[in-house]
Amino acid sequence: MRKIICSLLVALSSATAFAQSAAPALAHDAPDRHVVRPGDTLWGIAGLFLKEPWRWPEVWRLNKDQIRNPHLIYPGQIVYLEDFGGSPRLRVAQPVKLSPKTYEEPLKEPIASIPHKAIEPFLAKPIVVEASFNDTAPRIVGTEEGRVYLSSGDTAYVSGVTDKTPNWHAYRPAAPIRDPETKQVIGYEAEYLGELKLVREGEPATFQVVASQFEIGKGDRLVPARPPELVAYAPRAPEKDIQGSVARIVGGVASSGRHNVVLLNRGANDGVEIGHVFAAYLAGAKVDIREEQKIDTYQLPDERSGLVFVFRVYDTISYALVMDAKRPITVGDRFRKP
C-alpha cells in the first residue's frame, strides 16, 4: 500500500527552500500521513506534523510566487510526510481506489489555510474607512413609527442613497484609531451593526432591516454589501524586521485569545503583507529595587504571548487572527518576527 501511495505522489512546487537557520522541527508523534477531511485547515494539518505550524510553506517547498498563490488541497487527498535530504517535506497524493471501476465525482471545496469563519465578517465588511466616511456615507434619518432602535423586519429611511445595490450593511459613525505608541490617528474604523435591503428608491430611500447584530438607529451609516474575497493565505515570516504594537482588540473586549481578531499599528506602508505571521509579546515592566539609599532599576524581558496571522492589510494598519495564545493578548503588546 505504501508503494502505491508513493507512486501517486505529485510534487506541488519547486525545490526552492526558505533561508532559515534550521529545518522545521517535527511535532511529537508526527504521523507519516494524514487523510484530509472537511473542516481541516492547512495550519491545523501542519500542526500535526510540525512544532511550528506557520512554517508549513517550507516543508511544502513553496517559492515566493507560490506563497502568494498557493496550491489547493481537497478533502480525501493524502498529505504524506517524507525525508528530503535530512529535512521534512510534505507532499499530496490522491486517495487510492482499490475498485477497478472509475467514478467521476464533483470537485469538493478546497480546505482553507486558516479558519475562514473567524475572519469572513472582516472580509465582507469594510471595517476601516476613509476619514470622510461620516460625511459622505448614506445615513439613517428616520425610523418606522419613530422607534429609537431597529431590529429585523423594521423600516428605516435613509438619505443620500445614489446606488441601486439591493443589499447594504449598517455601521456606527467611524471613530479614529490611535497608535498606542505615538497617540496619532492612523485610521478610522466603523463598527458593523447589521444588514438591510433597499425596498424603495427616493430621498429618503426606504430600507428594511434584514438582520441586526447590534442596535441600529438614527445617524447610523449604510454601505453597499460586497461579497467576501476569500484568499488562499499562506503563512510566512516577513522578510524584513517589522515591529509594532497591538492597537486594538476587535469586539470591544480588553484582551484576546485564540481565534480573536486584533488590529496592528503597521500596514502596507511598513511592508506588512497578507499571510505574515508575527509573534506577540507582553512588554517587560521596569522594576525598582531600593536598598538603603540606592535604587536599582531593572528592565524585565518581554514574554511571548502568542502568534498572530495577518489576513487583511491597509496602508497604515492591518488585521490579524490570533492563532496561538499562551496568555491573553492586550492593547500595547508588542509584535515582531517569530
The per-residue pLDDT for 106 is 47
Tell how far CA 146 is from the center of its chain: 39
The per-residue pLDDT for 220 is 96
Residues 67, 113: contact at Cβ < 8 Å? no
The per-residue pLDDT for 49 is 86
Q: What is the pLDDT of residues 204-263, one digit of tens each?
A: 999 999 998 888 999 999 999 987 665 666 778 888 899 999 998 887 666 777 788 899
The per-residue pLDDT for 88 is 78
Within 8 A by CB and 6+ apart from 328, the residues are: 255, 256, 257, 305
Q: DSSP of 245-287, one letter per residue?
A: EEEEETTS-SEE-TT-EEEES--GGGT--TTBEEEEEEPPPEE
Q: How far apart are CA 223 and CA 246, in angstroms?
A: 27
The per-residue pLDDT for 16 is 32
Please state, as a whole number, how many other Cβ atoms lie within 10 Å of the Cβ of residue 228.
14
The answer regarding whether domain 244-336 maps to CATH 3.30.420.40 reads: no
The one-letter amino acid code at 175 reads A
Strand extents, DSSP E, 119-236:
128-129, 139-143, 149-150, 155-159, 167-171, 175-178, 185-189, 192-200, 205-212, 216-217, 221-224
The per-residue pLDDT for 142 is 95
Q: How far apart are CA 142 and CA 165, in angstroms?
A: 20
Phi, psi of 288 (to 5 degrees): -100, 130
Task: Give the pTM.
Answer: 0.73
The per-residue pLDDT for 226 is 81
Cell numbers standing for residue 205: 430611500
Residues 215, 170: contact at Cβ < 8 Å? no
Residues 29, 112: contact at Cβ < 8 Å? no
The per-residue pLDDT for 318 is 93
The per-residue pLDDT for 191 is 87
The per-residue pLDDT for 272 is 95
The per-residue pLDDT for 17 is 35
Task: Please list the ranges in the chain whose pLDDT falls under 50.
Answer: 1-20, 98, 101-107
Q: Long-range contacts for 139-148 (Cβ within 8 Å, ≥24 apart)?
A: 139/219, 139/220, 139/221, 139/222, 140/170, 140/216, 140/217, 140/218, 140/219, 140/220, 140/221, 140/222, 141/204, 141/218, 142/204, 142/218, 143/217, 143/218, 148/217, 148/218
- Residue ranges per structural domain of the chain: 2-93, 121-224, 244-336
The per-residue pLDDT for 1 is 34
